[in-house]
Amino acid sequence: MRYSEITIRFCGIAGDGIVASGKILAGACANIGLHVMVNNIYSAEIRGMGKSSATIRFSTSKLYSMGDGLDLLVGMKGKESIIDLRDVKAGGNVIYDSSVIGDVEEEDSLVSHITPEIQGHGLPIQKLANEATGTNQGKNLVAIGAICYFYSLPPEMFVDQIKSVFVHKGDHVIDVNIKAFNLGYEYFKEHYPLNNQFEIDKTSEPRALTSGNDAIAKGALDCGLKFFAGYPITPATRIMEIAAKELPKLGGWTLQMEDEIAAIGAVLGAWFAGKRAMTATSGPGLSLMSEMINLSVMAEIPTVIVNVQRGGPSTGLPTKVEQGDLNIALYGGAGDSPRVVMAPSNSEECYSGIQLAFDIAEKYQTPVIFLSDLFLGQRTETVTIKENIDRDRCTRKKPTSEQLENFQRYQITDDGVSPQIVPGEPGAVYSTTGLEHSVTGNPNYEADVHSMMTAKRFRKFESMVSDLPEANILGDETAEIGIAGWGSTIGSILEGMELAKKQGIKTKLIKSIMIHPQHEDSFRKFFASCKKIIVPEMNYQGQYADLLKSRYGITPIEIHIPSVNPVSPLKIVQKIMEASSELSK
Amino acid sequence: MSFLSKQSVVDGFQKAKESKTKEWRDNLPTWCPGCGHFTGLHGLYEAAERLKIPPKDFVVVSGIGCSGRFPFFIKGFGLHGLHGRAIPIATGIKVASPELTVVVVGGDGDGVGIGGGHFPHAARSNFNLTYILLDNSIYGLTKGQVSPTSPMGMKSGTSPYGNIARPLNPTTLALAYGATFVARTFSRERDMVSELITKAIQHKGFSFVHDLSPCVVFNKDVTYNSLNDVTAKLPDEHDTLNRSNAMSMAESTDPVYQGLFFKEEIPSFDDHVKQVKDGLKH
């Protein structure tokens, strides 16, 4: 068979080297110029009951989501992978460990659950791993060797990857892992002679791999991040770890604080001192930050908060994805508390979007909540990031010498933005407060002052729109079915639209990294041109649909998926078909 | 202690506006006449004047409560933030801009009640901050409820049958948390307050001044008179280099000692950061 796209899943328990398998396979595929996306699924426990899986999808064309179904499932010893058999496509393949048959009860054995429409391939994974390494390690490499042969991928690329993944573990580990890889390769060559061929364009350039979390950290560092304060939380911790390592080299610093309130407090302090600062958290942390976000609104101190959404509420599902934090991001504050909410849909947008978040926060002296999610944050994908490095970037409105003479920190202006001076700069001093205040910053509770200041704080959200990117409209402009999506669900929507197109159904999509504020005219025009509007998202309530309904008066078909896994494109296409058949009635 | 008339306070401040500390004076304080906080504020003016801290490089961060209004009375940059959260905000300012002089001011409810979780971490990190805790053992701005430092048995709006919990002692907490400069003062002793605040700001590392600062309106249990009866200066021979000795002196309730309990010179947070950054250059 000839393939141009493959999805493979490694499945086992924590400690089986599942994540490393994904890394090696993805790295090798990216090096030969393929498009790759990797999603790791693991439980919230570090050891013991923890099932772990890595799904790697690679293709000759651009990937937007994890797609649907597996071409190949690799199950390590144990029953963990049995449930994943249902994800294998008809005609798909399974590699199971033939050296452990008999060690486990039949009902716990993967091979005994393989149905006739799936092809099983025995591989003595444990035995060959023992032979190569003298230990139980290296099982993953045996499987990768077999896969390399099975899809006739170039083995030299894998050897390079093994070297780079294990470089910090020394030559011996590299040697035994290469041996394990070769044993797996040779076993398959001998027992399952080649009949598959993956189409590789030999002229393709190697592609870069990144995750959403990495792209956010890099984007922030490249646009002048000087200070990061955070508190470890899945799935956002990696952003802090990168900041901790890189900031000191760039003259900045990262603080691990005692809780999320302290983290956002320190970030506000750094911004007050005129330095670009950021924190990254997830739902429970964002909840704790609510009062500080309000201080940021009231005192007009910029701040940037990355929220990598996981399943909620409460501690919820720490290692599963959901888009359930839109409402708290938009509305999670006492009083009239406007804030910017952004949601990137892929790693490229994580990089460019976080830079925009800093520019907007600093220029408009407002909190910006940057809503990523676990799937986008942790998945690895091949990307083309357009680097934009300017670490001295500053968009703060500084006072003129005239304004300095009788400095008013909260001067009323047409665009709502007042000039800001920071500690250490000569010319004027001021005090700020979370109390309502007059133009000087002194506490003031008069009705007209409160009205004037509230209006000023909201006016900034009108004036900033001209600085924001337009919404993107993708698909067929003449389509009567329109889809509005946000965040990482966009990827599944795009693939769902492709599938619909193959069925002869035209669709179009409106997407914007800006959730609030938005270029509302573009949305109005788009919705006016649709006969059916579909709004898919990963939450139970339809939080984005609610926003669009109240803002644009539309009545969409809503797809609510309280999710633990990324949205399947098939679910999207199903709704598209339904909408299409209703239209043709 | 008699109440001061409002006019005498205003007159006093008009006079003060011509004083040597005028460069650091801003809005007139809004506290009740007789409030202990006036002494703490005076002490901070004096310290700023003695150390010639340029207002542009002077940042005062406060929480919420009567003491929270400090920044508006001082010429410098000020941030009146959230209840209990002055320390983390000040930390961000100081770590982002180490060249600034950053002073945190808060009350007992702010510092060891709602914000009690921040104090230990600022102390153990030895951030180069000065933290002045103005302790009146009452929630004054909400008109008189027990605080974490109120004595047992104290009756208030929210403890009508008497306070059941034992009071915290912020001085011993600071010592236990690893603060490298720990002092206690009483607002009746203006010179001592000014002197210790000055020394605290000069200290390289986390300095803590626990100022007993009575509320003359709502606290009928902890008053100038009651404190006058129990407070005493630390003996001259007190060894400020010995933390456990400082701890036992700070625990004493009769007398309640004032003065510098402890001071040690170890690398501050800024020194450690500098060392890391210098190491990365090579």
Could you tell me which chain B residue has the CA closest to the CA of A296? B81
Last residue of a domain, one of A430, A448, A466: A466
Residue A196 and residue A219 in one domain: no
Would you state the pLDDT for residue A199?
81
Helix/strand/coil for A236:
coil
Residue A28 lies in a domain: yes
Contacts of B63 in chain A (CB under 8 A): none
Of B69, B92, B276, the CB nearest to A265: B92
Residue A101 and residue A201 in one domain: yes
| CATH code where residue B263 lies | 3.40.50.970
Give how far A267 is from chain B: nearest CA, Å: 6
| CATH code where residue A526 lies | 3.40.50.920
**How many domains does chain A contain in total?**
4
Q: How many percent of chain A have pLDDT more than 90?
A: 88
Task: With cut-offs at 50, 70 and 90, classify the pLDDT of residue A526.
Answer: very high
Residue A394 lies in a domain: no
Phi, psi of A122 (to 5 degrees): -75, 140
Would you state the pLDDT for residue A194?
75
In the structure encoding, which two tokens stand for residue A239, read together?
């952003």
Residues B50-62: what's their mean pLDDT? 98
Question: Do residues A513 and A349 lie in contact, with contact meaning Cβ atoms separated by under 8 Å?
Answer: yes
Quick check: B4 pLDDT over 70? no
Task: With cut-offs at 50, 70 and 90, classify the pLDDT of residue A77.
Answer: confident
Distance from C-alpha of A343 to C-alpha of A369, rounded to nearest angstrom: 8
Q: Does B117 touch chain A (CB under 8 A)?
A: yes
Residue A263 and residue A314 in one domain: yes
Segments forming the whole domain that contains residue B238: 6-281
Would you state the pLDDT for residue A330?
98
**How many domains does chain B contain in total?**
1
Test mutation, A429, A432, A438, A442, chain B, max B CBs within 10 A: A429
Residue B1 lies in a domain: no
Q: Which residues does A236 contact at the CB level (< 8 Å), separation at least 6?
A: A213, A230, A280, A281, A282, A285, A306, A307, A308, A377
Q: Which residues does B131 contact at the CB level (< 8 Å), separation at least 6?
A: B87, B103, B104, B106, B111, B119, B122, B206, B207, B208, B209
Residue A35 and residue A159 in one domain: yes
Q: Where are the beta strands (DSSP E) in chain B?
A: 58-62, 77-80, 101-107, 130-135, 181-186, 207-212, 231-233, 256-263
Would you state the pLDDT for residue A100?
83
Quick check: A179 pLDDT over 70? yes
Question: Do residues B16 and B27 lie in contact, with contact meaning Cβ atoms separated by under 8 Å?
Answer: no
> CB distance B80–A277 less than 8 Å?
no
Residues A189-206: what's their mean pLDDT? 84
Helix/strand/coil for A9:
strand
Residues A23-33: what's their mean pLDDT? 94
| CATH code where residue A190 lies | 3.40.920.10
Residue A278 lies in a domain: yes
Residues A321-345: what's their mean pLDDT? 97
Does the reported pTM lie above 0.80? yes
Q: Does B280 touch chain A (CB under 8 A)?
A: yes
Residues A447-453: what's their mean pLDDT? 98
Would you state the pLDDT for residue B5?
66
Written as one string, the DSSP assignment of A36-57 is: EEEEEEE-SSSSSS-EEEEEEE
> CB distance B81–A295 less than 8 Å?
yes
Residue A64 and residue A178 in one domain: yes
Would you state the pLDDT for residue A379?
94
Would you state the pLDDT for residue A47?
59
Residue A246 and residue A223 in one domain: yes
Distance from C-alpha of A443 to C-alpha of A450, rounded to nearest angstrom: 11
B149-164 confidence digits (pLDDT tens):
999 999 999 999 999 9
Q: What is the ipTM of this complex?
A: 0.96
Residue A388 lies in a domain: no
Residue B123 lies in a domain: yes
Residue A78 and residue A198 in one domain: yes
| Greatest pairwise CA separation for chain A in angstroms | 86
Q: Among candidates B266, B250, B170, B249, which has minimal Cα distance to B209?
A: B170
Residue A309 and residue A452 in one domain: no
Residue A390 lies in a domain: no
Quick check: B2 pLDDT over 60? no
Segments forming the whole domain that contains residue A154: 2-206
Residue A561 lies in a domain: yes
Of B69, B87, B93, the CB nearest to A273: B93
A355-412 confidence digits (pLDDT tens):
999 999 999 999 999 999 999 999 999 999 999 999 999 999 999 999 999 999 999 9
Residues B259-267: what's their mean pLDDT? 98
